[in-house]
Amino acid sequence: MLSHQDIWAALDRLADKFAMSPSAMARQAGLDPTTFNKSKRRGGDGKERWPSTESLAKVLNALGVSFEDFATLAAKSQAGRLSIAMGANVPLIRMSQAREDGFFDSSGYPVGEGWDEIRVPGVSDDHIFALQISGDGMMPVLRDGDRAIISPSANIRRGDRVIIKTRMGEVMAKSFDKMSAGSAQLLSLNTNISNRAIPLKDIRWMAKIVWISQ
């Protein structure tokens, strides 16, 4: 559970990310400049005061930051986890494009051009991209229209959700189980679809899903 201290500390870190003081951040959101001042964090009787949901929503909207990424700040991400890079523009690649050649290199990094871009709170990984999901074959985890945020450079561990592109042009989302002799064991996100064991020689690239935008 997030504490009073966690929420206020996250607001302070949010201001730091945008090189603002808490007062300047409040003004940016159209709020009273003292809204996030330290003097407002406790009442005259010493009891803890929480920021209102309205003021929090206004500041996140003004800065283009999602509540999910604010929660990450509040949870104090551990060293080694992906760090927040607020308001990053990343390539948006559609499933139909992902199946074609020319949009990725052999490691799964986006290359070339012809894609759209979307703004996401993002990560520090320069090669991150968004994949626009189509169809219902990845339900209930990924729905038609969802955007899976992919990091080709992130380490993959058992249980991680991944995107795989095969040398035959298949693009699919699975849950990584393990590597066995010569193949990757993958669990389907949709219980109506069988699990797969794909020979390593048939995998063009496999990359970790780090976030899902609905």
Percent of the chain with pLDDT over 90: 22
Please give the average per-residue pLDDT across 129-133, as a whole number.
Answer: 88
Please give the average per-residue pLDDT across 121-141, as a whole number.
Answer: 75
Handedness of CA 194, 199, 203, 209 (dihedral sign): positive
CATH code, 168 = 2.10.109.10
User: Hey, what amino acid is at 157?
Assistant: R
Nearest in space to 211 (alpha carbons), one of 78, 58, 107, 69: 69
Is 153 part of any domain? yes
Of 61 and 176, the one with more pLDDT:
176
Q: Are 107 and 44 in the same domain?
A: no
Question: Residue 43: CB partners within 8 Å, gap ≥ 6?
Answer: 49
Q: Which of 51, 74, 97 is the last residue of a domain?
A: 74
Lowest average pLDDT, out of 83-92, 110-119, 175-184, goes to 83-92
Of 117 and 214, the one with more pLDDT:
117
Task: Let me know how long the chain is.
Answer: 214
pTM of the model: 0.57
Range of the domain at 13: 4-74
Q: Above 80 in pLDDT, residue 113?
A: no
Please give the average per-residue pLDDT across 106-119, as a whole number.
Answer: 73
Q: Which of 74, 103, 122 is the last residue of a domain?
A: 74
Is 82 part of any domain? no
What integer best gives the mean pLDDT of the chain?
81
Most confident listed range (79-83, 105-109, 115-119, 207-211): 207-211
Q: Which residue has the tokens 């189980």?
A: 177
Q: Above 90 in pLDDT, residue 175?
A: yes
Of 81 and 184, the one with more pLDDT:
184
Please give the average per-residue pLDDT across 34-40, as a whole number.
Answer: 89
Q: Are 119 and 46 in the same domain?
A: no
Please give the average per-residue pLDDT across 43-69, as a whole number.
Answer: 85
